[in-house]
Amino acid sequence: MKNKQDKRSKIIKGIIIFLSTLLCIYFFIVIYFENHFYFGSEINHINVSCKTVEEVKEQMKSKLRSYTVNIKERGGKTEQIKSLDIGLRYDSGGKYEKFKDRQNPLNWISAFFSTKDLKMTDVVIYDEKLLKENLEKLSCLDISNIIEPREPDFKYTNKGYMIIDEVNGNKIDKDVLYDKVTKAIQRGEDTIDLEQVGCYVKPKYTSKCQRAIDNKNILNKYISSKITYIFGDNKEIIDGSIINEWLKINDDFQVVLDNQKEKRYMNSLFKDYNTVGKTRSFITTLGKTINISSGDYGWSINISKEMQNLNKIIEEGKIIEKEPVYIQTAFSHGSNDIGNTYVEIDMKNQHLWFYKNEELIVQGDVVTGNESSNYLTPQGIYRLKYKEKNATLTGQDYSTPVEFWMPFNGGIGIHDASWRDKFGGNIYKINGSHGCINSPYNLAKTIFYNIEKGTPIICYY
């Protein structure tokens, strides 16, 4: 019985000693945390466990003095922003003491189970102007070192278009960089990877994206077009070897036709086929070779309308033969677009010839514009605008009915002149017309019933 009591007494004594020891340890630690921070305490992510307030202040100052932001760039290069360069400091304002006061020494055990009262974010102060100036000094922002990002490109080959990879470049978005650096400083981070935090300006599209593949297919469709223009016996071909020079990718990464380049090419192509106003070599009935310019006769292609039609053909990838859209046409293609049907008026000799399909239909003397009154009929090659039966010609001082009216140059035309009994010679010098071609009745009649709209009228001295 006595042994049992001794054993129980020893157990109780041991428990008392153990609890007393624990209590002593507890209060010893309580006394320790009267002046020291809890285990796990952090200020600005810096571990300040078991340090006094004064030690923390010195630790934070030391940390600031050595603090550097390492900026990792593409290509393995690293640049730095140092705390001294930007006037970095902490504005604790007595907060360390308040932070310590929140940590009741009697509750030190709770630090193992809760993060409450274990973390503090100190206010970081720096000179924004100095920070921006130091960022501007970074070599990665030096314009001479910057490679601009570029979207995928497209190269024309004899086998069609191929996609050229995009260029990532190394251009940095300054606003993003500034934002990431300031946040890193506020969090006390010492490294920023510009790639990971998204500071680089990226191309919007890649060579593997569907938009790039679609563009390639569109380009190849466009250059598969072949347009053959017919000009009488001549042909002009526009195919992929030419069309590719007009194709480009716009700012929205869409395939478009460069209308300026296209227009320059079309003007050059059609230059020899637009003959209005060009100087022509003409062999007169009397056998003299003369050069005649001016007048409105000839071919004139509607470039604007033709480009609209051409672009539609290209966009549909068609192969087609066609004539261009004309503003006006002539009677023949080739170097001699006058052809073999025309009216020839020799105003020096006051004589007219009318040929139709190389056959002389009629000829005769005429009276042209009055030389003495400065009404000389202009020389040039013109088109017959229309013909009208029983017209009345009017002017400032006249109103004259005629039976056959055939205008070719504004108010100037061929017509009968029943009031005259003589034609030819030098009548035009003193008693000529107001510019019209006064003709004998039968001459005007024969021309009227054999001529058609658009027939060239050749006037020369």
Q: Which of the residues are catalytic?
A: 415, 436
Q: How far is CA 198 from CA 175, 177, 202, 270, 413, in A?
A: 11, 9, 9, 53, 78
What residues contact 165, with CB distance under 8 A and at least 6 apart? 152, 206, 207
Widest CA span in the chain? 176
Q: Is the Cβ–Cβ distance between 320 and 227 less than 8 Å?
A: yes
Q: Is the Cβ–Cβ distance between 343 and 451 less than 8 Å?
A: yes
User: How far is it, in rounded angstroms, from Cα 416 to Cα 422?
Assistant: 12
Instruction: Give the distance, in angstroms, between the CA of residue 181 and the centroid of all CA atoms in the same chain.
Output: 35
**CB burial of residue 116 (10 Å; 0-12, 13-18, 19+):** exposed
DSSP string, 391-447: EEEE-SS-EEEEEEEEEEETTEEEEE-TT-S--STTHHHHH-BSSSEEE-HHHHHHH
Comparing CA positions, the residue from 282, 263, 203 lying closest to residue 456 is 282
User: How far is it, in rounded angstroms, from Cα 459 to Cα 408?
Assistant: 11
List phi, psi (to 5°) of 190: -105, 0
What residues contact 156, with CB distance under 8 A and at least 6 apart? 219, 223, 240, 244, 247
Which of left, alpha, beta for 334 (phi over 0: left; psi -120 to 50: alpha)? Answer: left
First to last CA, the chain: 161
Give pairs for 60-67: CB < 8 Å, separation 24+. Answer: 60/90, 60/92, 60/122, 63/188, 64/88, 64/89, 64/90, 67/188, 67/190
Instruction: Give the distance, in angstroms, between the CA of residue 59 and the centroid of all CA atoms in the same chain.
Output: 58
**CB burial of residue 205 (10 Å; 0-12, 13-18, 19+):** middle
Q: Which stretches of 255-302 are DSSP H helices?
A: 259-270
- Specify the DSSP class assigned to residue 354: E
